[in-house]
Structure 1
Amino acid sequence: MSELLSPEPALDSPIVFVDLETTGGSTSEHRITEIGVVEVGLAGVSRWSSLIDPQQPIPSFIQQLTGITNDMVRGAPTFESIAPALFERLNGKLFVAHNANFDRGFLRSEFRRAGIAFDPDVLCTVRLSRALFPGEKRHGLDALVERHALVPSDRHRALADADLIWQFWQRLPTLVPLEALRAQIERTTRRYRLAGDITEDLLDTAPAGCGVYAFYGEDDAPLYVGRSVRVRQRLRSHLTGERRSSKDMRLAQLVRRVEWHATGGELGAMLAEAQWIATLRPGHNRLPRVTKSDPANAPWPFEGPIVFEEREDAQGIFHVVDRWRYLGHASSLVAAAQLHASTLAGSFELSTYRILQSHLARGLRVMPLSVSRDSPESSIVA
């Protein structure tokens, strides 16, 4: 099979086809034993591979599968020793692998141990094959070899398997119209590094549970505010998900910064979202539609500020509302009173009014909040 001197059918960037062999399947417990890279760009095709000393024994069944023994890796370089040069080889290129989450996950963990952040754009050829050939049931590397007449040289060795992925890539333009292929590659590619400082490592610090988030663009202009019961997962869906809508993909291209707050519950997330939208007025959110029946103001049915409690992971969160304005949440009633005392009074918010009216009608239990900073007393109001 002749080798192309350009990275067709990719879009604009050079490509690395990568395969790893490891001591097992856990990125926290196991280590890499071999790396194989086929690098493809306008300058041509180059190949590189190296055994890696995993600094732990290779299980016997792994030795039988890969042919890589403890004797073979003894004296090989450690990952830390090759990390800077390997990063230069991979950085800035589309990372293509078969079952790419495995290879990317191991490399990301190893690079992190070496003090290097590794967040390439990733294309998984298992997922690409499933998308392009939905009538086929099997999409493992052996199935691709059989189905597309690929030529294996040494299965379960890193460079040989990376070369099979490269062969599959070259075969695709003969099987799928190029424009359709390019479009599917774009849909399947997961872009982990975005503009600004947004990386997968940053998204890992987002709340796993309920919360509100905001995207900002150039000059810190607010773009979009959203909420979710799983903020971290929702952010990944917006920014790196394979099944993003065209709207999400256009929005992701504009994002330069993201912020979030955990809210401790879904109702708190709804109120925080409404408050952020009213304050930030982001360009990609619809402002609430005002009807003739909506009040421009409404009497506050309580004598003063109120709190209600939500629980997430057995920890209580107290949400503070005053005169139809959501002020935020706190971890205790004392902190809630301090939050109220330190927050300037605002104007009537229609969205907050609608949300609270609906939940109060369904029996939301609230407590009057004492404004004392010392020991606020509270009693349940039905």
Structure 2
Amino acid sequence: MSDSSFSAPPIDTPIAFVDLETTGGSAAEHRITEIGIVTVGPGGVSRWSTLVNPGQPIPPFIQSLTGITDAMVRDAPTFASLAPDVFGRLAGSLFVAHNASFDRGFLRSEFERAGFSFHPDVLCTVKLSRALWPHEKRHGLDALIERHALEPLARHRALADADLLWQFWQRLHDAWGPEVLRGHIDRTVRRYRIAGDITEDVIDSAPAGHGVYAFFDASDAPLYVGRSVRLRQRVRAHLTGERRSSRETRIAEQVRRVQWRATGGEVGALLTEAQWVSTLRPAHNRQPRVGRGEPQGAPWPFEAAIVFEERGEDAAHERLFHVVDRWCYLGAAPTLEAARALRIESGEPVFEPSTFRILQTHLARGLRVMPLEAVAGEVVDAGV
């Protein structure tokens, strides 16, 4: 089809439609065998592709699927030798791919091995198709070919599949008005630099499991404190527009810094969140009110400080010991020795109504605690 058959949807940056063929599905274990790039910008449309020597055998199934054999890539250039050229073709462009995390992940890993830092803004055409046609069940490339009458030059070859994405991009302009389309694109793009000093790398360093996070504005004033069982995913959703409410949008527009703390489990997250809300007094959190008849200094039912363990459910299985003394949450540490040191450094505990409520509830549900000063011994059930 002609590149002039359809006018492209509005966007303010060059676009690189990218597809890769690889030896498998893991960016850590497998390697790229072919790269296809269709670049669209002020100078028009250009197409470029190359086979890549992966330095490892191509599994028979993938040879059958793509038609790329070991013999075809034996004398092809390595990615390391291609890296400067590929980087130059992609630098400064919006990176568009189908299941984009796959292609971006492979290229990022290959670039890192070659000494390049690759951090493009990314648009996934699977996510964009789902956003624009939410009632359709299938959004794979074959489904897009059928639904939008795309014209494949081939299938499972890098440049041909990248060209299908360019065709799909052009079709969008006929199906949707410019403002509607731009809105969906803006909400779907995953931007590397998100806000202030927050980048995708920063968010990628957040704990995957239970934890608490806090957002701060340009003057470093606290905006919002939250907790999640999937901390990294939740922070990204807040800041990148995934399932964002109007309230979250208002908060995200002001965020310039984020901090977090892994808690290992639900009870630690509840205690940490309540303590941060009380201490930071963020603008978008409701401050807890003391209930009528709620004690302001309830008796402590233990002889001294207690500790309970929570272990994360993510891949790291982070182990944390949470310390509480006289209804004051003192924090968490990775070992009992560090937990004891935490108690010594914390000074005189101050009664926290939120800690009282949370701990009362979970002790009644069977939270297992032990005396912090116990050098050895089994965890015991305790109640109030």
The TM-score normalised by the length of structure 2 is: 0.85
Query: Structure 1 pair 220/115, CA: closer, same or farther in 2 (3 Å)?
Result: farther
Q: How far off its partner does 1:19 sit?
A: 0.9
The farther-off stretch of 265-274 and 232-241 is 232-241
- Two-structure CA RMSD over aligned residues (Å): 3.1
- CA distance in 2: counterparts of 1:248 and 1:206, whole angstroms: 19
Q: How far off its partner does 1:361 sit?
A: 4.2
- CA distance in 1: counterparts of 2:252 and 2:75, whole angstroms: 45
Q: How far off its partner does 1:351 sit?
A: 2.0
- CA distance in 1: counterparts of 2:351 and 2:126, whole angstroms: 53
Name the aligned partner's letter for residue 359 of structure 2: L
Query: Structure 1 pair 324/191, CA: closer, same or farther in 2 (3 Å)?
Result: same
Q: How far off its partner does 1:252 sit?
A: 3.5
Give per-residue Cα distances to partners, 1:73-126, cap 9 Å, x unaligned.
Answer: 233322122223323332333221122222122112212322333332222222
Give the conservation status (yes or no) of the 8 Å contact 1:304–1:369: no
- Which residue does the alignment assign to 2:221? 221
Identical amino acids, percent of aligned pairs: 64
Name the aligned partner's letter for residue 283 of structure 2: G
Q: How far off its partner does 1:272 sit?
A: 1.0
Q: How far off its partner does 1:169 sit?
A: 0.7
The farther-off stretch of 257-266 and 361-370 is 361-370
Correspondence for 1:357 among 356, 360, 377: 360
- Where 1:36 maps in the other structure, the secondary structure is strand
The farther-off stretch of 191-200 and 271-280 is 191-200
The farther-off stretch of 332-341 and 250-259 is 250-259
Q: Does 1:328 align with 2:315?
A: no
Q: How far off its partner does 1:267 sit?
A: 0.6
- Which residue does the alignment assign to 1:187? 187
Name the aligned partner's letter for residue 333 of structure 2: A
- CA distance in 2: counterparts of 1:222 and 1:325, whole angstroms: 22
Give per-residue Cα distances to partners, 1:240-274, cap 9 Å, x unaligned.
Answer: 46323343344334333332222222111111111
Aligned pairs for 1:174-323 (under 5 A) are 174-240=174-240, 242-295=242-295, 297-302=296-301, 305-312=304-311, 317-323=320-326
- CA distance in 1: counterparts of 2:6 and 2:346, whole angstroms: 59
Q: How far off its partner does 1:301 sit?
A: 2.2
Name the aligned partner's letter for residue 334 of structure 1: E
- Which residue does the alignment assign to 2:48? 48
Name the aligned partner's letter for residue 188 of structure 2: T
Give the conservation status (yes or no) of the 8 Å contact 1:223–1:282: yes
Query: Structure 1 pair 319/147, CA: closer, same or farther in 2 (3 Å)?
Result: closer
Give per-residue Cα distances to partners, 1:148-175, cap 9 Å, x unaligned.
Answer: 2323323332222211111111111111
- CA distance in 2: counterparts of 1:73 and 1:207, whole angstroms: 39
- Which residue does the alignment assign to 2:172? 172
Give the conservation status (yes or no) of the 8 Å contact 1:35–1:159: yes
- Where 2:195 maps in the other structure, the secondary structure is coil
Name the aligned partner's letter for residue 91 of structure 1: A
- Where 1:13 maps in the other structure, the secondary structure is coil
Name the aligned partner's letter for residue 310 of structure 2: R
Runs (5+) with no aligned partner, structure 1: none
Q: How far off its partner does 1:142 sit?
A: 3.1
- CA distance in 2: counterparts of 1:174 and 1:56, whole angstroms: 44
Give the conservation status (yes or no) of the 8 Å contact 2:214–2:260: yes
- CA distance in 1: counterparts of 2:298 and 2:341, whole angstroms: 24
- Which residue does the alignment assign to 1:74? 74
- Where 1:329 maps in the other structure, the secondary structure is strand
Give the conservation status (yes or no) of the 8 Å contact 1:6–1:42: no
Give the conservation status (yes or no) of the 8 Å contact 2:368–2:379: no
The farther-off stretch of 265-274 and 346-355 is 346-355
- Where 2:323 maps in the other structure, the secondary structure is strand
- CA distance in 2: counterparts of 1:83 and 1:344, whole angstroms: 56
Query: Structure 1 pair 169/207, CA: closer, same or farther in 2 (3 Å)?
Result: same
Q: How far off its partner does 1:286 sit?
A: 2.1
- CA distance in 2: counterparts of 1:8 and 1:67, whole angstroms: 32
Runs (5+) with no aligned partner, structure 2: none
Q: How far off its partner does 1:146 sit?
A: 3.3
Give the conservation status (yes or no) of the 8 Å contact 1:278–1:349: no
Query: Structure 1 pair 331/106, CA: closer, same or farther in 2 (3 Å)?
Result: closer
- Where 2:155 maps in the other structure, the secondary structure is coil
State the number of aligned residues: 378
- CA distance in 1: counterparts of 2:126 and 2:318, whole angstroms: 41
